[in-house]
Amino acid sequence: MNDSSHRWQRRTYHHGNLKEVLLEAARKLIEEHGAFGFSLTEAARLAGVSPAAPYRHFRDRDALLAEVARSGFERFAARLDAAWNNGIPTPLSAFENLGRAYLAFAREDPASYAVMFETGVPAVGGEEPAPGSKPAAEKAFNVLEEAAAALCRQLPADKRPPMRLVALHVWTMSHGVASLFIQEGSAARKVPLSPEEVLESGLLIYLKGLGVLPDNGGKGTS
């Protein structure tokens, strides 16, 4: 273990925060080796605790990964909710902030994002979800659904698409941009646009297709 790892241990580990320091160790190892490229013993070593210590909280590595996903979804949902800000100052501008917040989370916490969406650990669709994981993921999705409802409110009731479907489309587009241009950095160099610009233009085209943008291109949607 290198000196920087030792410095990290001394700085972060204190009695009583074993679970949190193991989660941070897992995120560091995921960034370096991938979600399945480390063991619970290695997480313990990086955290500066005994090999047996992680079993106080996690039965195995998959349980640790599930908790990385659950805690990631909690922070992700809070990030999206703050960006949406109840549609203030306008639903469209808040919606654009929502897209930028989505990409910012993927960029700033790639380890959690990878486990949340890419690994198939129980917290993201397995047969035995980690406690609290589904509500945390659903809360993030609900923010997108709320935004979709606000944007489509101006449409006649019989012309409004299903809000969950719109939210799923938005989530899919956002995840695609994050995966192609943030998680896989080489792809970004081939496109003369930032990930934010790619996502914003795609979402505006999508919203125009739904008929929710006014003739001025969407500025001032209320």
Which of 56, 77, 100 is the last residue before a domain boundary? Answer: 56
Burial label for 58, CB within 10 Å (0-12, 13-18, 19+), is buried
pLDDT (0 to 100) of residue 189: 60
C-alpha gyration radius of the chain: 20
d(CA 106, CA 75): 11
Indicate if 15 and 74 belong to the same structural domain: no
CATH number assigned to the domain comprising residue 15: 1.10.10
pLDDT (0 to 100) of residue 162: 94
Indicate if 101 and 172 belong to the same structural domain: yes
Its domain, for residue 101, covers 65-210
Q: Is residue 201 part of a domain?
A: yes
Q: Is residue 37 part of a domain?
A: yes
Instruction: State the pTM of this model.
Output: 0.81
Q: Is residue 217 part of a domain?
A: no
pLDDT (0 to 100) of residue 45: 94
pLDDT (0 to 100) of residue 96: 95
Indicate if 70 and 52 belong to the same structural domain: no
Q: Is residue 112 part of a domain?
A: yes
CATH number assigned to the domain comprising residue 205: 1.10.357.10
Mean pLDDT split into 10-residue runs, the chain, 222 residues: 46 67 95 91 93 91 92 95 96 95 95 84 42 74 94 91 94 92 64 89 94 63 44
What's the total number of domains in the chain?
2
